[in-house]
Chain A
């Protein structure tokens, strides 16, 4: 099966600019996650979708981050405006069901804010 697709692979923007990341999960996977991984740290969950509904967004900085999953398939994560501390790898993951552990990650988008 095809894996989790993410684009772009790399993005460099200036602070206060906006940026968007795209994720296409594995076909049929109902649950989709966005994680932020800062250099030297483990991935941190930002938001979790079940189909097109939000299950958990408690760690999403909602003043600048937003995410949507229209039609329960693709998802977009947006940052507006970006700050220097947003520099990280943004990972998308998906699983068949919420209760299925070991979900599949994409390769991530490396964001550098200068």
Chain B
């Protein structure tokens, strides 16, 4: 019973183009969402967050969109750079800041 799903195990994008990573969740009580980036042999690094009172949050090249009715969020990276190549995890919490549930991750490859 995966509560947080990332249905695309991998994604390849050309440098300079937009990368869109998707995440779906089943628990309507989730009220806070995070995206993490993970390079090989390193721990996940916090990227961006969004609370359920918003539908968009932007930080530089990274924008997260939340569609509560569809229980869907997405991470947009514009423009994509080779250094963005990593595994991206979506995480959700139903108790602001506690007990985050992680998705299985999407491996992004940005091709030069």
A-B complex: 7 closest residue pairs judged by Cβ atoms = A42-B102, A105-B43, A102-B46, A99-B97, A43-B102, A101-B97, A105-B44
Q: Are B44 and A98 in contact (CB under 8 A)?
A: no
Least CB distance, A68 to chain B, in whole angstroms: 20
Query: Interface residues of A toward B: which range?
Result: 20 to 34
Q: Are B42 and A107 in contact (CB under 8 A)?
A: yes
Q: Are A56 and B98 in contact (CB under 8 A)?
A: yes
Q: CB-defined interface of B31-68 with A at 8 Å, one 1/0 digit per residue?
A: 01010100001111110010000000000000000000
Cα-based distance from A48 to B45 in the complex (angstroms): 18
Cα-based distance from A98 to B43 in the complex (angstroms): 19
Q: Are A42 and B43 in contact (CB under 8 A)?
A: no
Find B102's partner among A44, A95, A97 (CB 8 Å cutoff). Answer: A44
Q: CB-defined interface of A26-58 with B at 8 Å, one 1/0 digit per residue?
A: 000000000000001111110010000001100
- A positions within 8 Å CB-CB of B: 4, 40-45, 48, 55-56, 91, 93, 95, 97-108
Q: Are B98 and A43 in contact (CB under 8 A)?
A: no
Least CB distance, A70 to chain B, in whole angstroms: 22
Find A98's partner among B4, B46, B98, B103 (CB 8 Å cutoff). Answer: B98
Q: Are B43 and A108 in contact (CB under 8 A)?
A: yes
Q: Are B97 and A100 in contact (CB under 8 A)?
A: yes
List the B side residues contacting A56 at CB < 8 Å. 98-99
